Amino acid sequence: MAHNWGIIGAGGIARTLAAALKEASGAELLAVGSRSLDKAKAFAADHGAARAYGSYEELLADGDVEFVYNALPNALHAEWTIKATQAGKHVLCEKPISVTPDEAEAMFDAAGAAGVVLMEAFMYRCHPQMARLREIVQSGEIGDLRVIRSRFSYGLSDLTNVRYSAPLHGGALMDVGCYCVSFSRFIAAADPVEAYGAAVFGEQSHVDESFVGTLTYADGVLAQFDAGMSFAGMSNADIMGSKGHIAVPVPWKPGDEACFTVTVGGETREERVPGANPFSLEVENIQAVATGQAEPIVGREESIGNMRTICALLDSATGHRSISLP
Ligand SMILES: NC(=O)c1ccc[n+]([C@@H]2O[C@H](COP(=O)([O-])OP(=O)(O)OC[C@H]3O[C@@H](n4cnc5c(N)ncnc54)[C@H](OP(=O)(O)O)[C@@H]3O)[C@@H](O)[C@H]2O)c1
């Protein structure tokens, strides 16, 4: 029998996840909760959900909902994830999991106390491309790892978007720089020891609209990234080693088949990694974790470590100084 899902927040990414639930095996969208009942009803009709609620509380009180997808703005992730876990639901919470590392710890503690699974919805990590990239790096094929470089940016002119909201903890670093931080930490397989960030804050929005970050790792690895929401979009990643490098043209939204190149000694080969819709893969992963059949692809320590790094970068950019990480 399929697992029953409920979505809180009937916004943009919720529509993507609702579509992905149809592709995922063993998942069914049962209910949607919105601040507006009319909006919930329209969403439910569009996506074939049987139940629509005019509040998030009502959805959490529905005893038939097993998994909650938290698709709310960043500032509301902790509050509603904790409430969902206390209602006995497994939670797939959108990225970034919280807005501080302390919040992230409290969220995982709440899930642990309730005996439910919490996972951050870093869908790109669930595509097998990421595991394959780390495998190649750890095989030594490109020599010793030296520099990880990544980019994620887009142009967004609508200043009413949640990404331009300081109270909701928008900003380029929280929205897309978080992918670059996650990518760097995953490929380096370590926590950085120092973070340096530089940002341009919007005059009206007061959020970082352009962000450039540098991370230093203990074993001589450097990571650098740029993230932006107010310039022409560009997304890719490069992994450079002492003997070769890997170029990843589609790091964040790979589809049914990901493709990247590995260059060693002047010879370039192409790798193709079969996968699937990464949103469906994250749904299948959390369901497998909840039924004791898998480990979470994005686990507690990874999510908390990402938040620690993100917050150090933001502190660095606001304080114009580098920040040492424990
Ligand atoms: N993994 C990905 O690929 C991906 C992509 C995009 C976004 N995200 C993440 O998903 C989350 C939501 O992003 P989104 O693009 O879907 O945003 P969105 O379209 O603005 O939707 C957010 C929803 O949150 C609810 N909400 C509750 N309080 C709100 C408030 N004060 N202001 C605005 N909305 C409020 C609203 O739903 P109701 O009105 O129905 O209550 C709204 O539709 C963010 O954390 C973002 O980082 C992830």
Q: What is the pLDDT of residues 26-73, one digit of tens each?
A: 999 999 999 999 999 999 999 999 999 999 999 999 999 999 999 999
Judgement on whether residues 43 and 116 belong to the same structural domain of the protein:
yes
Q: How confident is the prediction for the chain on average, in pLDDT?
A: 97
Both ends of the chain: CA-CA distance in Å? 45
Of the candidates 211, 98, 106, which has an alpha carbon nearest to the alpha carbon of residue 150? Answer: 211
pLDDT, position 233: 86
Domain end, chosen from 103, 123, 143, is at 123
pLDDT band at 302 (very low <50, low <70, confident <90, very high): very high
Judgement on whether residues 84 and 146 belong to the same structural domain of the protein:
no
Mutate to test the pocket of ligand 1, among 47, 68, 72 (most ligand atoms within 8 A of CB): 72
Judgement on whether residues 200 and 272 belong to the same structural domain of the protein:
yes
> Using a 6 Å cutoff on CB, does residue 142 contact ligand 1?
no
Q: Whose CA is nearest to atom 25 of ligand 1?
A: 9
Judgement on whether residues 78 and 173 belong to the same structural domain of the protein:
no
Q: Whose CA is nearest to atom 34 of ligand 1?
A: 73
pLDDT, position 232: 85
What are the backbone dihedrals phi and psi of residue 233, each rounded to the nearest 5 degrees, phi first?
Answer: -65, 145
> Using a 6 Å cutoff on CB, does residue 283 contact ligand 1?
no
> Using a 6 Å cutoff on CB, does residue 73 contact ligand 1?
yes
Q: Whose CA is nearest to atom 43 of ligand 1?
A: 11
- pLDDT of residue 255 exceeding 90, the answer is no
- What does the pLDDT look like over 281-298, one tens digit per residue? 999 999 999 999 999 999
* H helix runs in the chain, sequence order: 12-23, 37-47, 56-60, 77-86, 101-114, 123-126, 128-139, 172, 178-188, 278-290, 300-319
Domain end, chosen from 99, 123, 147, is at 123
Domain end, chosen from 70, 102, 123, is at 123
pLDDT, position 313: 98
Judgement on whether residues 186 and 290 belong to the same structural domain of the protein:
yes
Q: Whose CA is nearest to atom 24 of ligand 1?
A: 72
User: From ligand 1's centre to the CA of 28, what distance in Å?
Assistant: 21
Judgement on whether residues 32 and 157 belong to the same structural domain of the protein:
no
Mean per-residue pLDDT, 202-215: 97
- What does the pLDDT look like over 266-276, one tens digit per residue? 999 999 999 98
Judgement on whether residues 187 and 317 belong to the same structural domain of the protein:
yes
Is the Cβ–Cβ distance between 32 and 59 less than 8 Å?
yes
Q: Work out the percent of the chain whose per-residue pLDDT is above 90.
A: 96
Is the Cβ–Cβ distance between 130 and 204 less than 8 Å?
no
pLDDT, position 326: 85
Judgement on whether residues 110 and 186 belong to the same structural domain of the protein:
no
Q: Give the residue with greater pLDDT, 232 vs 88.
A: 88
Q: Say how many domains are in the chain.
A: 2
> Using a 6 Å cutoff on CB, does residue 18 contact ligand 1?
no
- pLDDT of residue 235 exceeding 90, the answer is yes
> Using a 6 Å cutoff on CB, does residue 33 contact ligand 1?
no
> Using a 6 Å cutoff on CB, does residue 74 contact ligand 1?
yes
Residues 6+ positions from 311 with CB-CB distance below 8 Å:
100, 101
> Using a 6 Å cutoff on CB, does residue 42 contact ligand 1?
no
Judgement on whether residues 160 and 76 belong to the same structural domain of the protein:
no
> Using a 6 Å cutoff on CB, does residue 72 contact ligand 1?
yes
Domain at 145, CATH number? 3.30.360.10
300 lies in which domain range?
124-276+283-324
> Using a 6 Å cutoff on CB, does residue 71 contact ligand 1?
yes
Mean per-residue pLDDT, 312-316: 98
